[in-house]
Structure formats: C-alpha cells, structure tokens
Amino acid sequence: MPAKWAHAQQSDLNVMFYILDADWVIDALVGRNRAADILVELAPQGIAISLVTVGELYEGTFGFPDSAAHIRTVREFLHPFYHLNLNDPIMERFAEIRSTLRRQGQIIADFDILLAATALHYDLTVLTRNTRHLKRVPGLKIYQPKG
C-alpha cells in the first residue's frame, strides 16, 4: 500500500461520512482530478465502499491482458476502506428508487442505484464524478470539491 494511504486505516470505522464510486477510485489510481489527494484529506472522517462498487472495479480489471496484476492493485488500493454489504433495507430502497426513476423516465444503471441506496441507508456522501446520473436520486448527498 502506498505510504500516503497508511493513515487512512486509522479512521473510526463506526463513523463513516463518505462512500466511493468506481469513477473516483479509477481517478485516484491513475492520478486524475486530485482524487487521491482528496481521499487522503477526507480519510480521517471515514470512507467506505460498497461491495457492489468493488465488483464493478474488479469487472474492469478483466479488460486488461494481465488482469491478475490489476486485481492486486485494486485490492491493495481498497484495503484501507470499510467495505459495506447489501442488506434487505438497502435492497428495498434500491427497488423504490428504481421504480420512481423508471416512472419518471429517468432510469440510471443498477450499480448507480445500489450505490445511492447504500449511501442513503448509511447517510453517506458519495464521492463521484457521475453527478449527471446520481443527482436524479432525491436526498442523495454528492461531494463537491472545493475550488
């Protein structure tokens, strides 16, 4: 694990404020958009990741010739973050959000809805660039970088 991530493990895992979206992880891994610096800044407040997002990231690794190396990189990167499972209340919220968005003609990807349902369930702010889709979910908090 890179040295700058070492202190991220010191977060109190009982108090989380943020949840990662796949695009933010990818940005941090490739050094884009100050994503890694912002994660280091926010880590003491607590950052989680949904196992759904972990699966989405692993899926992306299979597009590379050496997928095993990319899986190791993703796994190492995600190690400091608290991993959140799905549960029945999250799945109920997912179904409600999906039904509402479908009726409104505003449906988004299931992965995005599952992320949103998880964030709402735990009252977390989403770290994402995907504001175009996620802003359709009522009550969802999306991180807005300063400056």
How far, CA to CA in Å, does 126 sit from each of 54, 61, 72, 119?
Answer: 15, 23, 24, 7
H or E segment to which residue 87 belongs: none
Q: What is the pLDDT of residues 47-59, one digit of tens each?
A: 999 999 999 999 9
**Does residue 20 sit within a domain?**
yes
Based on the structure, what is the number of domains in the chain? 1
Residue 113 covered by a domain: yes
Q: Is residue 123 part of a domain?
A: yes
With a cut of 60, say whether residue 13 has pLDDT above it. Answer: no
User: What range defines the domain where residue 125 resides?
Assistant: 3-142
What's the pTM value of the predicted model, to 2 decimals?
A: 0.88
Using CA atoms, how far apart are residues 61 and 58, in angstroms rounded to an integer? 5
Q: What is the pLDDT of residue 14?
A: 60
The CATH number given to whatever domain includes residue 7 is: 3.40.50.1010
Does a structural domain hold residue 147? no
Based on its alpha-carbon atoms, the radius of gyration of the chain, rounded to whole angstroms, reads: 15
Task: Count Cβ atoms below 10 Å from residue 89 Cβ, excluding itself.
Answer: 11
Q: How confident is the model at residue 2 (pLDDT cuts 50, 70, 90)?
A: very low
Q: What are the C-alpha distances in Å from 72 to residues 57, 65, 110?
A: 12, 14, 26
**Domain membership flag for residue 22:** yes
pLDDT at position 147 is 58
Structure confidence at residue 32 (pLDDT): 87
59 located within any domain:
yes
Residue 7 belongs to some domain of the structure? yes
Specify if 62 maps to a domain: yes
